[in-house]
Amino acid sequence: MAPETAARPRAAEDAPREWAMVFPGMGPVKYADVSRFLLTNPHARRLRKAAEEVLGYSLADRYRESGEDYTEAAQVVFLVNCLALAEWARERHGVEPVACAGPSFGQKAVTAFSGALPFADVVDLTARLARHEAGYFAREHRDVVTLSFVRVPGEQLRPVLAEMDDRGAWYDISCHLDHDFFMVSLREAELDAFQARLRSLGGLPLYTMRPPMHSAAFGPLRRSVEEEILPRYRFADPRLPVVADQDGTVVESAEGMRTLLLDGIVRPVRWPDVVRTLRGLGVGRVCVAGPDGLFGRVGCTVNTFDVLAADPRAAMRPRPPAPLPA
């Protein structure tokens, strides 16, 4: 049986041992991979039913029927599962964090987990944002995608981007995930040439996302969210420090949480900055609560912390039997 905790390297005895809760960004997740947890785990069932009261429809049915990766239902299911897995990690492993972070989509889960908004409000916010963003990208930036890639360190990426500058090609760095792991938004017409250039350097393009994410070009979307959606909600100060995914600053106010959500539209994720801040807060262990193939696995995370992968597969494993008395 595979262990639930993936820890590389194991912290020394005198290393920081505090926990942080990390809610990962959202990637493509198959219904079959998460449905059993969503439907049977007690924490997930409770949160799913509460979400359905807000939405007015069967979340599992809508998700199964949607057939796409980032639909409204898919986003709410991801939110529910992340928060349920955080509760499971507290119950099973005694995780009591001193701070939390939520890169990219994980901002929504961290907003609920930290108490900055009630769970029902975060469900409503997630659904409204999904519809609003879908409408925006159906009209705007239809030729823009976000490409993720690895094995291209920053010092090698900079000349590639300078070449794009020289020929007047638009781009924006959307995520800096590790020393050689980035996401760049660019026009789809530039995609093949950009991927070929990365491969010439030994890089490995991973996947292309549509709609794109995290770019200053999406300022109109930020303004419309600020004016049309966020006034519905009354934010509170978070109950524990939240580390901003854009620059690693510590957010401790209601206004800061509101700004965090808005800035996530137009500012890039800088995950190494988050890692440095968490370490500075005395964190030596992180629980990544949610389906994740990224934030709990990149080098800057596993080389800094012991990592507990709290994902649906781990949560559905039977608890090992208690040892028999001697």
**Whole-number Å distance between alpha carbons of 110 and 103:** 9
- Over the chain, what is the mean pLDDT? 92
Domain residue ranges of the chain, discontinuous segments joined by +: 16-139+216-316, 144-209
Supply the pTM of this predicted model: 0.91
pLDDT at 232 over 70: yes
- Quickly name the fold that domain 16-139+216-316 has: Malonyl-Coenzyme A Acyl Carrier Protein; domain 2 (3.40.366)
pLDDT at 11 over 50: no
Q: Is the separation of the CB atoms in 258 and 114 below 8 Å?
A: no
pLDDT at site 280: 96
CATH of region 144-209? 3.30.70.250
pLDDT at site 321: 59
Q: State pLDDT tens for residues 256-293.
A: 999 999 999 999 999 999 999 999 999 999 999 999 98
Q: State pLDDT tens for residues 44-53.
A: 999 999 999 9
Q: State pLDDT tens for residues 94-152.
A: 999 999 999 999 999 999 999 999 999 999 999 999 999 999 999 999 999 999 999 99
User: Where does the pLDDT of residue 15 fall: very low under 50, low under 70, confident under 90, or very high at 90 and above?
Assistant: low
The sign one gets for the Cα dihedral 215, 219, 221, 225 is positive
What secondary structure letter does DSSP report for 246? T
Q: Which residues of 32-50 are buried (b: 16+ CB within 10 A; e: fewer)?
A: eebbebbeebebbeebbee
Beta bridge partners of 313: none
pLDDT at site 323: 57
Q: State pLDDT tens for residues 187-224.
A: 999 999 999 999 999 999 999 999 999 999 999 999 99
Backbone angles phi, psi at 185, to 5 degrees: -90, 140
Q: Is the separation of the CB atoms in 23 and 109 below 8 Å?
A: yes
pLDDT at site 162: 97
**Whole-number Å distance between alpha carbons of 276 and 110:** 18
Can you list the alpha helix ranges (DSSP code H) found in the chain? 31-40, 42-55, 59-66, 72-93, 106-113, 119-139, 154-166, 191-200, 219-228, 254-266, 271-280, 299-302, 312-316
